[in-house]
Structure 1
């Protein structure tokens, strides 16, 4: 069972996975309670969450990453709206999606910069990104019995820097999943009590970080300062100096070895 729950699709088929999805869906819906329509892209493994926004005016597309945690999965999404993608190549047009949701994505890939670049490209200029990553300070990142315990966890500062380097600006964040990743789950009532208590008393110790970001149109392209180039300065030797303002240079100039000595 431990080996199976490391795969995202099998984890969400387990009682603990269904419970985690229930609480995480509540957090995600608080960020985007109303979807005005358009297109939503889910990157990583987002099938348990895309149904929050899939309706008659919103089209949701699931793009599972070609990684061990997210690749194996049954055909759960809507027909024609699910695919497997590489981190550095998305089969979508630029500026195509109004919203992007990332779960089990950034922590399970070694090509984070390329993945964020692809996400940035397919987002419209006014699009929003909702990202879920394991919290380095939380319990879930240190228990390898779930997909949240695979790959590289992040602190809030680390994920903020990673997004900023991809020209994405964080606007809001909160933590989630305060019930333990191992042992008895205690059911929805007990885990819900832990979620509410943890959010109020230990807000930085949640199992995952939930972050909303937007495109940063004014972000600098790079951190390195541009080299300063000075024009070449050419010095020309002065052969003679005029003693009179109206004379031609060299007429009354002293010769080498002659003329009065200069006094200071």
Structure 2
């Protein structure tokens, strides 16, 4: 999707309701980021405002195929147009990565996940918001969550583990039907409570929190040096003609059959 389409959706009543519901669910999972570095990937800027006063730095990286939008509305821009498989950051500098409209639209999924893993600090966390394959939002192309590749929970688990992430928490959100109807949007909070109680597997999106895994590297053991138990007895390099003649005679005597 183009960045213009994304901005238009979040400027609509349905997009504003989706932002409120998702921000509440994401915020409930994240605590203790005062003084940290937060990176939004994809089109995550609608959800980053809540951390601007708390975090030391908040950045937004938008993929080149999508386009970039200025954010925040006031002050210097904190967004950049990047290749999501080669981000302009050193290793291990990000405390939290928030990925919204990122994985489902990525053309190089494994490379993107490995790049997110690289820029995260050891023990850093990532929040992935993806369309639910079983939900209504993935079946409607009138919203950004209806574009790209939806995921099931098992698919997302395998994908994150292959990229050296450990899923540590799950949440579901967006149970309101994805239609621009005033009475439905006004009752979005009631739809959310009812959906979480009755049919959580059919939410519009899946939210997963994952932790960067860092494996310890053991030094290889040194190969044991083999020492012979018995010392070899050196033999003379040459023998005289007489000694060679006697040796041949003794060998023939041993090999001759008895008479």
8 Å Cα contact 1:179/1:185 also seen in 2:
no
Q: CA deviation at 1:7?
A: 2.1
Q: Which residues of structure 1 form unaligned runs of 5+?
A: 221-250, 260-264
Pick the aligned partner of 1:26 from 21, 24, 27: 24
Q: CA deviation at 1:45?
A: 0.5
How far apart in 1 are the matches of 2:196 and 2:119? Answer: 33
SS of the counterpart of 1:7? helix
Match for residue 163 of structure 1? 160
Match for residue 39 of structure 1? 37
Residues 179 and 166 of structure 1: CA distance in aligned 2, closer, same or farther (over 3 Å): same
Q: Which has the larger radius of gyration?
A: 2
Aligned residues: 224
How far apart in 2 are the matches of 1:157 and 1:96? Answer: 29
How far apart in 1 are the matches of 2:39 and 2:11? Answer: 22
How far apart in 2 are the matches of 1:186 and 1:58? Answer: 40
Match for residue 146 of structure 1? 143
How far apart in 1 are the matches of 2:183 and 2:35? Answer: 37
Residues 55 and 31 of structure 1: CA distance in aligned 2, closer, same or farther (over 3 Å): same
Pick the aligned partner of 1:67 from 61, 65, 68: 65
TM-score w.r.t. structure 2 length? 0.78
Cα deviation per residue 1:22-63 (whole Å; 9 max; x = unaligned)?
111110111114423210000000111001211154311011
RMSD: 2.7
Match for residue 51 of structure 1? 49
Q: CA deviation at 1:151?
A: 0.3
8 Å Cα contact 1:141/1:150 also seen in 2:
yes
8 Å Cα contact 1:98/1:123 also seen in 2:
yes
Cα deviation per residue 1:193-225 (whole Å; 9 max; x = unaligned)?
0001101111111000000000122499xxxxx
2:188 aligned with 1:195: no
How far apart in 1 are the matches of 2:116 and 2:178? Answer: 30
How far apart in 1 are the matches of 2:44 and 2:193? Answer: 24
The structure richer in helix per residue is 2
SS of the counterpart of 1:164? helix
Pick the aligned partner of 1:129 from 90, 102, 126: 126
Cα deviation per residue 1:80-117 (whole Å; 9 max; x = unaligned)?
41101112110111111111100000000120001101
8 Å Cα contact 2:68/2:80 also seen in 1:
no
How far apart in 2 are the matches of 1:5 and 1:123? Answer: 25
Match for residue 81 of structure 1? 78
Match for residue 231 of structure 1? none
How far apart in 2 are the matches of 1:120 and 1:5? Answer: 25
8 Å Cα contact 1:176/1:206 also seen in 2:
yes
